[in-house]
Structure 1
Amino acid sequence: MEQGGHRKSGRQIIAAAALGAALLAAPPAGAQTKEELAEARALFQEGVALSAANNCPAALARFQAVANVRRTPQVLFNIAECEARLGKLVSALGNYRIAAAAADGDPKARDVTANVGPRIEDLEQRIPRLAIRRGPGALTATILLDGSALGAAEMSADIPVDPGPHVVSARIGDREVVRETVTLDERDEKTVEVAITAPPEPPRAAAPPDTAPPEAPRPAARPSKVPGLVVLGAGIASGVVGGVFLGLRAGTLSDLDALCGGDRSCPPSARPTADRGRLYTGVAEVGIGLGVAGVAAGIALLVTSRGGGAAGVPRAAVVPHAPGADLAGLSVAGRF
């Protein structure tokens, strides 16, 4: 078996060299310069040498660089040879078929025509095939093979794949719901059915028993002291204004006594002073009255804003006409 394998490899190298000679002997094409063609011939010679040394990855890179300059049947054939030896059977089969089509009817590519047929027949038998079908729940899912989405035509036929592991997955929206790895050897035929089962709903956690003690009633919000302070301040200010005008009234009365000589007969010149005295008297009475009322009301609001009814909390109330009242007949009665 080992000697047979060496003989087969030797035949492939001899065929590649012969096909390379056809490339090197081909006349230059008008689309390339002499320098480009010379570089392509050098790369092809390097590729043949690397392939003979069993360095297929490096040889493949050289042949592909040559194909960028001249895509001849010989170059395509050698690319397919390297790919087949690297296990890239599907790509190799495609390049063999392209090489055969390019060599058809070309007298300079007879060697390609003579060798490519058996290569194609051999790969068609060796390439494994994978059938992917939709199972329950996967009707609307996106099916992917090795990260590439599959169309309807690919889902209805067997897909040729390279030997080795392949990932079959399914997605619904942005969520991957199925992922399976399938490994195939040469000549294998496998079918994978993608089935999506709905995930079970997570069990609902039982509500914890209500062991918390009943919430104590919140105490009623205490009235604000601001209104009482405002009213008390306004009352004091009114009282001060009344007191000022009361003093002015006393001064006016002294002026009238001087003008009238102590009796009730006053000259006409005393009339403005008398009018001013009456004005001061009225303002003083109003100011003092408002001051007394404001002070009383402010005190009442402040006392009631402290709250009451609870043990140890002072209680107070405004009592009209209380005994000993000294503020306009009002008095504050309290319990402490």
Structure 2
Amino acid sequence: MNTARYALSAACFSSALAAAGAASAEPDPAQAAFDRGVAHMEAGRFDQGCPEIAQSQSLDPRPGTLFTLAECEALRGRLATAIARFDEYLALYPTLTAAQRRSQGDRERSARAQRAALARDVPELKLVLSPGAPADVVVERDGQVLPREAIGASVPVDPGEHAIRARAPGGPALELLVRVDKREKKTVTLEVMPRPPRPPEVPPPEKPPVEDKRAPGAGGAVVGAPPAATAPEAGAGGRRAAVYVAGGLGLVGLAVGGVTGALAIQKKGVVDDRCAGTACDADGMAAADAMKALGLASTIGFGVGLAGAGAAAVLLFTEPEPASTRPSGGAWVAAGVTPFGPGGAALEVRGAW
């Protein structure tokens, strides 16, 4: 397998990796990705070159590839990422054999020098939670979940914008963009809202027990009360609504009867002017016909109005007293509206004395 690899220094993009082994007839994906990455670096396209070199390192990890990746990230402006790659290289270097170290040339010394230079410019970002934030908040930076120990600590980051997301389980998510420049040390407080509390469950109201007063030896019949002692209280709202409906219908009927009656009187004046006996001209005939129709409408309106007003009065004056104030036993009277058939109803009056 062809093991030729090239590593570029930050100054001149030149130095070659040692070659070993025989050439292979099959293409090497790691070598191809490395070659593409170096070509992008030489053209100044670091955003395309660095991912290619990173792919080569993941396919076939090599010390020289790792060193080149660190230089690419530094030229790309990702200072914290470059320092992390240089740290990986410096941690790997002591594990190499003597022959492997000789093949690395002066990369170990160059890695230390470049890392020290980058450390002067790398910014730091500290993310802290607001007081009272839940303990189980999940914080992400650029799509990566931060470990618990990283929250509240000043961490080296790459210069530029960073997407921050924080969320407590069940609560709303906090999302913001934070920009950090070279050498800046920034602290950002995350105002994380806890999960809203559940509303308390309200138990349904308990129905009061129905007191059943039965006379001894009466065979189970209720004495001195209507069949349902709580019926007047339970139906008080419906009765009052019936009073309003009947009263409103009465007022409308009386208003219609009054208006149509007045119009009928007006038409009668036209008939008197345009008719002589039973002979009328065209205007007189039209007025006579209109007078008959208005008179009929007035009669019906007054009838409906009087009926509605009467029903409202009966319902209002016969409304039973509440059970708490009505004496037990004795005479009683009650009225109500009983529906029957589609759209029909009847006024019902009951009592005992």
CA radius of gyration, larger in? 1
Structure-1-length-normalised TM-score: 0.49
Structure-2-length-normalised TM-score: 0.47
- Bigger proportion of residues as helix: 1
